[in-house]
Structure 1
Amino acid sequence: MIPKSFSLKNSILLIALVLLIDQISKVYIKTNFVLGEEVEVFSWFKILFVENEGMAWGARIPGEYGKLILTLFRLVAICGIGYWLWDSVRKVSPRVLIVAISFIFAGAMGNIIDSVFYGLIFDSSSNQVATMFPPDGGYGTIFHGKVVDMLHFPMWKGYLPDWIPFWGGDYFVFFEPVFNIADSAITTGVFLLILFNKKAFPKKDKEQDSKPSESTEGTSQD
C-alpha cells in the first residue's frame, strides 16, 4: 500500500538526487563548454551554455552589493522552505505537498550552491573552458558566483503575424529562456502544488460545534 505521506528520509533522498543531477550537469558544462557554446540535440532542443548573474529572466539587482543582497536573500528563503518542509513532514501532511516542497527546496539549493561557491572553484568561461579549482583562484569571491544554465528549448522561431497587437511583425522564439535542472525542479514543485492543490492543502472537515445529546436509556414514566 502506498503511504499517504512522505517521510523526512525520503525527502532527503529526493533532494540529494536532484542536487546530484543538477551539480553534475553544471560541472560538466563548466569544464567542457565555452560560454555561449551551443550543441543541437534536436531542432527543438539545444544545450546552450549561459551564466545567469541575477534572478530569473536575467533580471539583476543594481548596485555594487546587488549580487550579495540577492544571494543572502536566497539563503534566507531556503531556510524558510526548509522549515516548511520539516513542519509538513512533522504534521504528516499529504505526500504530494511534501514531494512538491522537496523539489522546490532542491532546486533553490542547487542554484544557491552556484551563487555561493562557483566564483571560488571555477575560473572564467569567457573564450575558454573553465578549470575547476584553478591554482590562481576563481573568477569571483564567495556569494558572487554565477548560476550555470544550459537547457534551451526553441520550439518555434519566426515572425509573428502583423495582426497581433503590440508584437505583430516582431521576431519571436518559443521557448526562449535557458534554464537548468534546479530551475526545472522548482517548476515541477510549483506545478504539483497548482495541479494537486486540493490534495496538497485539504480542507479539514468542520466539526459540529455541538453534538446532539443522547437520550438516557429508557424514558421516564409518570
Structure 2
Amino acid sequence: MIPRANWLAVVVAFATVAADQLSKWAILSIVYKAYEPPITITSFFSLVMVWNHGMSFGMLNRPEAPAVTSYAILFLTLLIIGALCRMAWRTTKRLERIGYALTIGGALGNVIDRLHFGAVADFLYFHIGTLGWPAFNVADSAICIGVFILLIAASRNSTVAS
C-alpha cells in the first residue's frame, strides 16, 4: 500500500512517463510519417530525429560502442532510479517529493526507450543558426526540472539550518 503522502510523487512520476512516451509516439508515428526531419518550427527551434545511445544531451553517444556500454548505462540508470525512489519515499517535504518524482519519471521514460529501441529518441532542438544545444526530449526536460527543484529544496533546507 502506498502511504497517502507519497501518492503525489507516484502520480507525478507516472504522468511524466506518460507525457514523455506520448510525445515520442506522436513524433515517431505521426509527425515523421508526414514530414521528413528536420522540421523547422521557428528560427530557433526544430524537430529533429536523433537516436541517443549515450546519456543525457548526447554524452557518450556512440552507436558503434559495444553493447556492454548500453547495458552498463541501463544498469546504472536503474540503480539511480532505485536510489531516487528510496529518497523520495523517505522525504517528508512535498517540494522534494515532486523533484524526485520528475527525475524518476524522466529516467523511466528514457529506460523504456532503451529497452524498446536500444537507444533514446531525442527530437527537440534549440539553436541559433548552426550553434545549438544537443537534441533532447520530454524525459530529459523532466530530469533537469526535477534536479533544479531538488537544488532549490536543498538550498531552502541549508538556509533554514543556518
Q: What does residue range 29-108 of structure 1 map to in structure 2 within 5 Å?
A: 29-32=27-30, 33=32, 37-56=37-56, 57-60=58-61, 62-88=65-91, 92=92, 94-108=93-107
Q: Take 1:8 and 1:98, find their aligned partners in 2: how far apart are those partners? A: 8
| 1:113 equivalenced with 2:109 (yes/no) | no
Name the SS of the counterpart of 1:59 in structure 2.
coil
Q: CA deviation at 1:179?
A: 0.2
C-alpha distance after superposition, 1:94-128 (max 9, x if no partner): 22211111111111111011111x23xxxxxxxxx
Q: Take 1:150 and 1:180, find their aligned partners in 2: how far apart are those partners? A: 6
Q: Which amino acid aligns with 2:107?
A: A
Kept in 2, the 8 Å contact 1:97–1:200? The answer is no
Q: Which amino acid aligns with 1:185?
A: A
| 1:18 equivalenced with 2:16 (yes/no) | yes
For structure 2, list consecutive stretches of 5 or more residues without a partner in the other structure: none
Kept in 2, the 8 Å contact 1:115–1:147? The answer is yes
Kept in 1, the 8 Å contact 2:20–2:138? The answer is yes
Higher helix share: 2
Q: Which structure has the larger Rg?
A: 1
For structure 1, list consecutive stretches of 5 or more residues without a partner in the other structure: 1-5, 120-144, 158-171, 206-222
Percent identity of paired positions between Structure 1 and Structure 2: 25
1:199 to 139, 144, 156: 156
Count of residues in correspondence between the two structures? 154
Q: Take 2:67 and 2:15, find their aligned partners in 1: how far apart are those partners? A: 35
Distance 1:59 1:19, change over 3 A: same
| TM-score (normalizing by structure 1) | 0.62
Q: CA deviation at 1:198?
A: 2.6
Aligned residue in 1 for 2:122: 149
Q: What does residue range 103-182 of structure 1 map to in structure 2 within 5 Å?
A: 103-116=102-115, 118-119=116-117, 145-154=118-127, 156-157=128-129, 173=131, 175-182=132-139
Q: Take 2:99 and 2:158, find their aligned partners in 1: how far apart are those partners? A: 12
Q: CA deviation at 1:79?
A: 0.9
Name the SS of the counterpart of 2:54 in structure 1.
coil
Q: Take 1:23 and 1:112, find their aligned partners in 2: how far apart are those partners? A: 11
Q: Take 1:115 and 1:28, find their aligned partners in 2: how far apart are those partners? A: 18
Name the SS of the counterpart of 1:149 in structure 2.
strand
Name the SS of the counterpart of 1:51 in structure 2.
strand
Kept in 1, the 8 Å contact 2:39–2:47? The answer is yes
| TM-score (normalizing by structure 2) | 0.83
Q: CA deviation at 1:194?
A: 2.7
Q: CA deviation at 1:199?
A: 2.3
Name the SS of the counterpart of 1:28 in structure 2.
helix
Distance 1:200 1:23, change over 3 A: farther
